[in-house]
Chain A
Amino acid sequence: MQVKTALEVKDLQVFYGDKHVVFDVNLKFPQHQITALIGASGSGKSTVLRSLNRMNDDLARVTGAINFHDVNINDPKVNVYRVRQRIGMVFQQPTPFPMSIYENVIYGLRLAGEKDRHVLDQRVEESLRQAALWDEVKDQLKSSALALSGGQQQRLCIARTLAVQPEIILMDEPTSALDPVSTSQIEDTLVQLKEQFTIIMVTHNMQQASRSADWTAFMHQGHLIEFDKTATIFMNPHEQQTADYLSGKFG
């Protein structure tokens, strides 16, 4: 099956000060698929993810090209705010802003200058439905987002990202702070979302990668070791290091 590429990474290198932490990563993220980045902590998987929408700008030096619609978005001249609107990010810790659920969801839209009440209402419902949160909160849109449970907060953060209508959603261990029930709800949500979005997520949870991801990239000590269909990586890895990691020999 030939799949279109949503985002292409070429020769990505990342440095924290003098410390070289990511070496020569080349990756093509397939469109409308879920790609999981796995590896031990410190393998550089989160660093790669955060480089994809320039969240590392203040923290690290990133070289190489990240091509998105034929634009190298790693070029400092590129409008980083638009990049982040097109390539959204959901973080490890749910971080709703201290305001109502409704205001949280439309926050990004408001920034983009959208004022039409009708459009905003519609987008709130749409995003919350996509994030599988609508039914739980539709009667309390005006109440504070901080009153929601951890899992609900994280789905609210997903909805907040979706509301800006990005093409790609980056997720940095989106369920690591959640209980198993919330985790499986979010995993279900992800599978729904890939109809419309390309999803790239970092996870330390191997089952999560095998359950939800179509593609899996394995990283070790800053190097990309192997990238293939999830089934291939888990059942029949080409590299010994991948096999060792999956069988729990290190990590």
Chain B
Amino acid sequence: MTMISYIAIAITLLLSLLLARPAGLYMAQVFNYERTGLDRWFGWLEKPVYAIGGIRKENYSWKQYALAAVLSNAVMMLLVYLIFRFQGVLPLNPSGIASMEPTLAFNTVISFMANTNLQHYSGESGLSYLSQMLAIVFMMFTSPATGLAVGIAIIRGLTGKPLGNFFVDMVRAITRILLPICFVLALVFVALGVPQTLEPTALGHTLEGMTQEIARGPVASFLSIKELGNNGGGFFGVNSAHPFENPDAISNLLQILLMLLLGTGLPFTYGKMVGNKKQGRVLFVSMAMMFIVFLGISLASENAGNPAVNALGIQHQQGSMEGKEVRFGVAQSALYSVVTTASETGAVNTMHDTLTPIGGLITIGNMMLNTVFGGVGVGFVNVLMYTMIAVFLSGLMVGRTPEFLGKKIEGKEMKLIAVTLIINPILILLPTALALLTQSDTLSNPGFHGLTQALYEFTSAAANNGSGFEGLGDATPFWNISTGIVMFLGRYFSIIAMLAVAGSLAAKKTVPETSGTFRTDKALFGTVFLGTVLIVGALTFFPALALGPIAEFLTLKP
């Protein structure tokens, strides 16, 4: 890697930093129920949706809010399940794709509704254009909109305001945030070379006289919401490593910015909504610090390359190129892998299975912590959860009832948070152990790396990331059903529990701030927050990581 690669990374991150605050403040405006200038711009689109949907702008209790989120998502899952099962006979299927088998449809439906996008099928051969456009892209809009709505409702609850109306929030998230940005970016992606066509697979005759079939489709409109909504599922099997899904370094830059836009914006939305900008900034800086350290480690490891390959005496200046694309090289590949796991998007421009052991460790660690920005809405909810744990621990240390935003955090909230915290390792480690015991024939790589493959799959499912160590033979009923359940619980358990916490806090009286109050908008609190995240994460997952990527690293010799 040369100096110029570092400059490119610095430019990318700087652009992302510049976009975060405006994006966050815009989101705060979108979810402000007072009449604003925005109503004029989006009213024409929203009024028909409210009318068809029968949506009334009434405030929900936390239970009603949670019920609406879960029920609406259940309805969508049912409809999309039917589309998958009958895509073979439904229209818009020019390439003649067959209908989907039940366990795979079960997995795919949960995967896309839960903002995960784990894919046990390959887009080229597994989905008709109708399924891609009406089922997959539809969920790619409604899933992040659900997450964003829930995140905003929880922030409202923390400030003591009514939680709002789920349907209004979801529709606004789509019409005012996701749709306009995606529309513009989709056209930019086409200009860069991403296909947008309803024509079937093209048949070419190559220079060497062979035939070459070229899969294509309406990729650009899919790509923009895939990244912006932190969905991550690829139109094609290899996702954004496919030249059609990521033709050059500019499309790569735009994808990185899209993945980070809403997640980095939310701390600022939060700061604005709770009326304490410093509060949002402390969390943003803490997360950014973790991000930079992880990125540095990943870059160093990928750049050093694979010692076993380097030992063959070839010219290995480029670093570890197995599973990477030349147009991105090590720098843009490592950057993308850290961004996609930090933002819980799950899109990939390099095959994570082929990353060096430490490069792979970083991606998996990002997902285990799930607090480095995180996915749209729910990622920030997870950050708030860790914030309250940090507040609680600080309270214990000084022997005071912990307070957060002027609300006392007591037994009821901490019980909900503790259960949410403990469910994450249960969802990851137990099924991994089960898979290693019974499914070792589906692991494609031998030794320690095989263990990492299973661990990665469930970590990705539980964190609703959706990337994979794709060598894993995961298109079997065991993997379809087990990861389906893990994705479902990983998503909806924390949504409901944290809405309950918000509802409980909203009902409490605000206690006045005194000189004894532990301030949560200072650098000291940022340190406590980081310590909490790293200690809780390390204690929980270090043993599993030691058996997987760390052991592989230590045994990888020239």
Do A and B come together as binding partners? Answer: no
Q: Give the A-binding residues of B (Cβ under 8 A).
A: none
Q: Give the B-binding residues of A (Cβ under 8 A).
A: none
